[in-house]
Amino acid sequence: MTAPIRELGFAEAIREALAIAMAEDERVFVMGEDVGVYGGAFQVTGDLVQRFGEDRVVDTPISELGGAGVAVGAALTGLKPVFELQFSDFSTLAMEQIVNQAAKLRYMLGGSVSVPLVVRMPTGSGLGGAAQHSQSLEAWFAHVPGLKVVEPTTPYDAKGLLLAAIDDPDPVIFFEHKLLYKTKGPVPEGRYVVPLDRAETRRAGRDLTIVAAGVMAQKALDAATILASEGIEAEVIDPRVLRPLDMATVARSVTRTSRLLIVYEGAKSFGIGAEIAAAIAEGEAFGHLDAPILRLGGAETPIPYSPALERAAVPQVEDIVAAARRLARGEA
């Protein structure tokens, strides 16, 4: 039996996942600033408050720390909260609850409790949000044992990964790139899950491997189309989940292509690119490398307000094309 498939927006796919989880399991509820009548800062929760009521779509005061504390407490006592932050930048205020409490309680209490919490965070630049509303902080959370970190690229994955995150007994940080909310793609009706440990090869190619998540995966695919017209076939791997990272898929690809480019929006230094590059350099794929591993990351600067500078501060399609070309031609 196959569920009918329609075109759905990225935000609608997330809302549909929330509605399915809430309809199936009364322990699941949504909370966050303006998630109720206003429908969420990016209109993701939409009409959920009309469908499920204010007890299950809870507007919180403007205190990210307070909200996170409530969410962790609710999870500890048997509920399954999905906590929305308006911008991932504001996670700084909730860090104590996420990093010191949610991530660690299962371990500190000998496995006697778990924290089945999902924190949804709009991430990234591109909408003129400037320095405090445009960051890409995935690497911060991916550094913390006890957390899972998810970053979907397609509406299909957004729905399936969010349902898997809600099912997961442990805390999951769910990054949603703002530029993806308006994108559309095929999404089956009803419940399905995308596993939280598997990368997706979005395009096959043999000349180099590009690893990129979220909106950067989209840009990498656009770049791969341009590269193909020049006779360079790039394989594009979308990790989908940054922790735990599916390095086996990346390593298999690099073994074949011998060249690796990692693209991510967060600041280049100490980022996910370093993690992936190091894992390849440490592993069996090393002996198959025929060029230095390249990273394309964000500039070492807060995201500027000026649209031109904002664009220049993160990797763009033409940057990916240029870097891939150098790699594939043996010029890197």
Partner 1 sequence: MAVEVILPRVDMDMETGKVSRWHAAEGEAVAKGQLLFEIETAKAAMDIEAPASGTLRGVAAREGDELPVGAIVGWICNDGEAPPARAAAAPVGSAVAAPAGPVKVLGDSTPTSLPAARGATATPKARRLAREAGLDVASLAGSGPQGRVQALDVERARGVGAAKSGAPRAHGEWLRRGAGPPFVFLHGFGAELGVWKPLVQRLDPSRGALALDMPGHGLSPPPPDDVTLDALVAAVEAALAAEGVARFHLVGHSLGGAVAAMLAARLGERVFSLTLVAPAGLGPEIDGAFMDGFLRATSVASLRPWLRRLARDPETLGAGLAEATLKRRAERGLGPGQARIAAALMPDGVQAIDVRPALAAFGGPARVVFGAEDAIIPPRHAVGLPGAVAVHVLAGVGHNPQLEARAEMARILSDQAAAGDARVR
> What are the catalytic residues?
64, 133
CB 182 within 8 A of CB 10: yes
Residue 121, SS3? strand
| 259 or 295: CB nearest partner 1 | 259
On whether the CB atoms of residues 324 and 210 are closer than 8 A, the answer is yes
What is the β-pairing status of strands 184-188 and 5-9?
antiparallel
Q: Which of 55, 287, 300, 308 binds partner 1 (CB under 8 A)?
A: 287
Q: Which of 92, 286, 301, 311 binds partner 1 (CB under 8 A)?
A: 286
Instruction: Figure out which of the listed residues 205, 273, 298, 315 binds partner 1, where binding follows CB under 8 A.
Output: 205
DSSP 8-state class, residue 98:
I
Q: Reduced to 3 states, what is the DSSP secondary structure of residue 294?
A: strand
Smaller CB separation from partner 1, 51 or 256: 256
Nearest CB to partner 1, comparing residues 14 and 212: 212
Minimum CB separation of residue 94 from partner 1 in Å reads 43
Farthest-apart Cα atoms in the chain, separation:
60
Does 332 bind partner 1 (CB under 8 A)? Our answer is yes
As measured in angstroms, the least distance from the Cβ of 249 to partner 1 is 14
Q: Give 97 or 253: the residue with its C-beta nearer to partner 1.
A: 253
Residue 291 found at the interface with partner 1 (CB under 8 A):
yes
Pick the stretch among 2-10, 138-146, 210-218, 286-294 that binds partner 1 (CB under 8 A). 286-294
Contact between 284 and partner 1 by CB under 8 A: the answer reads no
Shortest Å, Cβ 17 to partner 1? 32
Both structure tokens of 163: 């349902």
Query: Where in the chain does DSSP place strands (E)?
Result: 5-9, 28-32, 57-59, 80-84, 118-123, 148-150, 172-177, 184-188, 200-203, 208-212, 234-238, 241-243, 260-267, 294-298
**DSSP percent split of the chain into helix, strand, coil, nearest 5:** 40, 20, 40
Per-residue DSSP letter, 227:
H
Site for partner 1 in 257-276 (CB under 8 A): 258
Residue 281 CB, nearest distance to partner 1 (Å)? 9
* Helix residue spans in 168-295 (DSSP H): 215-229, 247-257, 272-282
Report the residue from 289, 299, 316, 317 that binds partner 1 according to the rule CB under 8 A: 289
Q: Cβ closer to partner 1: 106 or 288? A: 288
Count of other CB atoms within 10 angstroms of residue 41:
18
Please write down the HEC assignment for all residues of 60-89.
CCCCHHHHHHHHHHHHHCCCEEEEECCCHH
Enumerate residues 217-256 that contact partner 1 by CB under 8 A.
Answer: 230-231, 233, 235, 256
Q: How far is the CB of 287 from partner 1 (least distance, A)?
A: 5
Q: Which stretch binds partner 1 (CB under 8 A): 112-120, 203-211, 265-273, 306-314?
A: 203-211
Report the nearest approach of partner 1 to the CB of residue 229 (Å). 9
Question: Contact positions toward partner 1, by CB under 8 A?
Answer: 204-206, 230-231, 233, 235, 256, 258, 286-291, 330-332
